[in-house]
């Protein structure tokens, strides 16, 4: 019985992947983003979509680009990882976009895919005028776990940003876990 269910599950996910691959070629970016999101949910089982997702990294729509990069990370095959590595410079460039949503979500994507090359640009983004963008950069630096970010995060913590930003900084510093980072978290907690 288990084998039958398991085989049916594989067959369904294979059919689902084929349908989603067709939708990746749709003219409407919203349809493509929805298909990309669903492929991210099935992860490795969506590996047949890697070539089309790789092409999606070059299609000119920033939302499709960001979601494609995240989905390639979730699929995780060697060719998916290579596509992400090749797109890293373009992702880092998007951190300078005029759109707040693009900047913030690019920071989030870079954190999800764990791009250490983005650390200097993410540190710079800690000074962005928008709290949303700063918050996403803080989270990304925490996911990447970069010790290089500790001084900038501590400095931002001492600037007394709003409580949400300070909490995110403390969480990130704790996650990075260097003695200097943990000391700053302890000092921050004692002042609350």
Domains along the chain with CATH numbers: 1-94 (1.25.10.10), 119-192 (1.25.10.10)
Give 1's contacts (C-beta < 8 A, 6+ positions apart). none
- Nearest C-alpha neighbor of 165 from the set 174, 173, 156: 156
CA 77 from centre of chain: 17
Asked if 119 and 97 count as a contact pair (C-beta separation under 8 A), the reply is no
pLDDT by position in tens, the chain (length 192): 333 333 333 333 556 888 888 898 888 989 988 999 999 888 888 889 999 999 989 878 899 999 999 999 999 999 999 999 999 999 999 999 999 999 999 999 999 999 899 999 999 999 999 999 999 999 999 999 999 999 999 999 998 778 889 999 999 999 999 999 999 999 999 987
- Rg, C-alpha atoms of the chain: 19
Would the pTM count as exceeding 0.95? no
Measured between alpha carbons, how far is residue 16 from residues 25, 45, 73, 75, 135 in Å?
15, 10, 19, 15, 35
Say which DSSP state 141 is in.
H
């Amino acid at each position: 019985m288990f084998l039958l269910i398991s085989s049916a599950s594989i067959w369904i996910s294979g059919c689902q992947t084929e349908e989603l691959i067709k939708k990746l070629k749709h003219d409407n970016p919203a349809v493509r983003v929805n298909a990309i999101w669903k492929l991210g949910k099935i992860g490795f089982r969506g590996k047949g979509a890697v070539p089309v997702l790789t092409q999606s990294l070059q299609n000119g729509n920033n939302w499709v680009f960001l979601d494609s990069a995240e989905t390639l990370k979730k699929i995780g095959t060697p060719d998916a990882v290579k596509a992400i590595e090749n797109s890293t410079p373009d992702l880092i460039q998007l951190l300078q976009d005029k759109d707040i949503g693009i900047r913030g979500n690019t920071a989030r994507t870079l954190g999800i895919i764990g791009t250490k090359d983005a650390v200097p640009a993410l540190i710079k983004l800690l000074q962005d005028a928008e709290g949303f963008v700063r918050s996403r950069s803080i989270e990304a630096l925490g996911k990447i776990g970069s010790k290089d970010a500790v001084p900038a995060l501590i400095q931002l913590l001492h600037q007394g940003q709003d409580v949400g930003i300070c909490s995110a900084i403390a969480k990130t510093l704790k996650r990075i876990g260097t003695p200097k980072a943990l000391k700053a978290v302890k000092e921050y907690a004692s002042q609350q």
